[in-house]
Amino acid sequence: MSELPVVVIGAGPQGLAAAAHLVEREEDVVVVERGRGPAAAVSEWGHVRLFSSWPELTDAAARRVLEPTGWTAPAAGYPTGAEWVSGYLAPLAKVLGERIRYTTTVTGVARQGRDKVVDGGRRSQPFVVHTVDADGRESRLLARAVIDASGTWGLPNPAGADGFPALGEAAAAGEISYRIPADVSELAGSHVVVVGAGHSATHAVLRLSELARRAPGTRVTWMLRRGSAANVFGGGAGDELPERAALGSRARKVIDDGVVDLVTGFRVAEFRQEADGLTVIAEDGRVVRGVGRMFALTGFRPDLQMLRELRTDLDPTLEAVAGIASEIDPNIHSCGSVGATGARELVQPERGFFIVGAKSYGRAPTFLALTGFEQVRSVAAHLAGDHEAADRRELRLPDTGVCGGAGGFDDNAGSCCAAPSTLQIGARPVVVG
């Protein structure tokens, strides 16, 4: 199988970095990307500014591949997603050239001639990557190894609190978005609701708060499933990513200033379409009425359907790679940084198959680009036979400043290092029926 390429699924930041590392090691590589260009998912949130700075957003091998072209790594600043693409990801993709196959969707990965059940001769068979192009033409690509860097962007979680769409959620699809808003001007004067507690939700709340300040009559409600908002605002001065810390501080201020209404412990069970807009009903019976638009920003989940004929080792809770699950579980994550991970932790029962990037984290929300760059460096070294380099750890991740896990789901108090329980969140409570 040595004459076969390594197939990388996804031409996003980690997929392109994986390809750069493999090219640097003179390994044959093919990148399969469903979008029309590189980093298609990043381009969809191109209006959002990252809280990681430029030096944390470029991979070492990618820089080495790019520098002979005259490209210079940006030294400082916090780019938007669009700037990340134009300033780094698109130039990298250009250098990789015809190794990338665009508008090609992976529909499945298997061992050639072996379904999931068959043991006999399994390891001696190459991988077969099933694809379909933009014209509907199906094809198969043989590979000696496969790196799944397809991310999770394509599968946002629903608003429903139990992981399935709430009653009426599908019928209300015209009023619900699962992406961070760009232009919110059309929402002036309406009641807008954001569901979620992560950075995407925080971005949306801040963008909408600016609209509320400009356009009287605009009402913004922020719904949290948990009983406390303490962890939503991050680690403050303890966060080693200043922009991430600032994001939480700004969110706290718009609550304290009364620009945004905060509702905690609200788990969406049902949507009803009524004359004055959507009515959102919680599992405990509370009601929020007159909603013109909802942004359900409750995280993402990995697409595991394409891997159904492979033998994988995934955590049953997070759907993350089992070898890293205990390090990233938001239910138990303790003080300090999430450790760097590499090929040893990412190994799967199918020798030569690796899940990297955001997809390796499953439903966990703590992924950083730096994490993925270290993952693909190690995996590429492993596939090239350089096991000493694969086992090395070349990264220390920045601390979040938040510890003790997520805290009790229904508790009013936060985790061990969160804001004190005496902190007043918000100048005015929202009234729900």
Give yes or no for residue 271 having a pLDDT over 60: yes
Write down the pTM of the prediction.
0.87
Residue 107: the pLDDT is 97
pLDDT (0 to 100) of residue 162:
95
Q: Do domains 6-154+300-391 and 173-296 have the same CATH topology?
A: yes
Asked if CATH classification 3.50.50.60 holds for the domain at 6-154+300-391, the reply, yes or no, is yes
Domain boundaries, the chain: 6-154+300-391, 173-296
Confidence of residue 230 (pLDDT cuts 50, 70, 90): low
pLDDT at 433 over 70: no
pLDDT at residue 403 tops 50: no
Q: pLDDT value at position 407?
A: 38
When pLDDT is cut at 50, 70 and 90, the band that residue 418 belongs to is: very low
The class (CATH top level) of 173-296 is alpha beta
| Tokens (6 digits) for 38 | 């590189």
The pLDDT value given to residue 338: 61
Q: Name the least confident of 53-57, 102-106, 345-349.
A: 53-57
Q: What is the mean pLDDT of residues 137-154?
A: 97
Task: Please say if the pLDDT value at position 88 is more than 50.
Answer: yes
Q: What is the pLDDT of residue 429?
A: 36
pLDDT at 327 (0 to 100): 86
Calculate mean pLDDT across residues 159-178: 96
